[in-house]
């Protein structure tokens, strides 16, 4: 069974090498590309100020983060939630670079960028020359992102999970949750049975001689016989 974690982070800035830190992590679990409903979300005290540029993106202030746990406090639970799952990230190099800087401080195993699924790279290959940020992909695939007035790690991870499923063709190929493979085959069998149960016209077994004798009998009843109206037979005048 393939287990994947769709992940997003928010940070104090853009460069972990210059001391910028992770301030929010959001994760959504997928099993065989299907959301399980399990998620992980935490705000983190970065122990340094949030830059003005980063605050304009996510709106997480120094005051809001002041009473949140530091990364070292949540490192074990975060690592346990991810486990050995494959990471799915939009612009994976950015988030993994920040996470590995945090994990190095706590002595945890770093993540291998080569093992992650980068949905930004996937989108660029699938839609070359087009805008491939998360908002643009939501518009392209008809995904509702109206709640996304500011960047938020968990909300972005949830939206990215939907985008990822679209990028791999999930809705087009086997992602109809209302009909799993066994249910689809049962439905096909039921439809075939319904077709077989429909009334069908019976093939007449009358001989030509029997038909001629019946027609002669109808003629003997006269032009005003009710049989003519019932059977839709034309009178001699009408057919002449």
Other CB atoms within 10 A of residue 157 CB: 25
Q: Which of 144, 141, 130 is nearest to 169 (CA)?
A: 141
- Long-range CB contacts for residues 52-58, cutoff 8 Å, separation at least 24: 53/13, 53/14, 54/10, 54/11, 54/12, 54/13, 54/14, 54/20, 57/10, 57/150, 57/151, 58/10, 58/23, 58/24, 58/150, 58/151, 58/152
In the annotation, is 151 catalytic? yes
Structure tokens at 154: 């968990």
Pair type for strands 86-89 and 117-118: parallel
Q: Kindly tell me the burial class for residue 156, based on how many C-beta atoms sit within 10 Å of its own C-beta (0-12, 13-18, 19 or more).
A: buried
Options 33, 41, 108, 151, the catalytic residue: 151
Contact status, residue 90 vs residue 118, Cβ threshold 8 Å: yes
DSSP β-bridge partners for residue 7: 27
CA torsion, ordered 108, 111, 112, 113, to nearest 10 deg: -150
Catalytic center residues: 151
């Amino acid at each position: 069974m393939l287990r994947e974690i769709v992940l997003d982070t928010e940070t104090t800035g853009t460069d972990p090498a210059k001391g910028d830190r992770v301030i929010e992590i959001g994760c959504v679990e997928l099993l065989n590309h299907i959301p399980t409903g399990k998620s992980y979300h935490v705000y983190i005290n970065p122990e340094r100020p949030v830059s003005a540029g980063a605050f304009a993106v996510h709106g997480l202030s120094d005051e809001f983060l002041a009473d949140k746990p530091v990364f070292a406090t949540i490192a074990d639970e975060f690592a346990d939630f991810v486990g050995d799952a494959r990471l799915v990230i939009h612009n994976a190099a950015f988030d993994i670079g920040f996470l590995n800087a945090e994990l190095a401080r706590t002595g945890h195993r770093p993540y291998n960028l080569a093992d992650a699924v980068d949905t930004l790279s996937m989108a660029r290959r699938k839609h070359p020359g087009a805008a491939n940020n998360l908002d643009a992909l939501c518009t392209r695939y008809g995904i509702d992102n109206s709640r996304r007035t500011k960047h938020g790690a968990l909300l972005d991870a949830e939206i990215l999970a939907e985008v990822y499923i679209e990028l791999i063709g999930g809705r087009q190929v086997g992602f109809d949750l209302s009909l799993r493979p066994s249910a689809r085959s049962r439905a096909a069998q039921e439809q075939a049975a319904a077709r077989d149960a429909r009334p069908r016209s019976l093939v007449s077994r009358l001989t030509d001689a029997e038909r001629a004798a019946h027609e002669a009998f109808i003629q003997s009843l006269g032009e005003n016989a009710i049989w003519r109206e019932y059977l839709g037979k034309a009178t001699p005048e009408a057919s002449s």
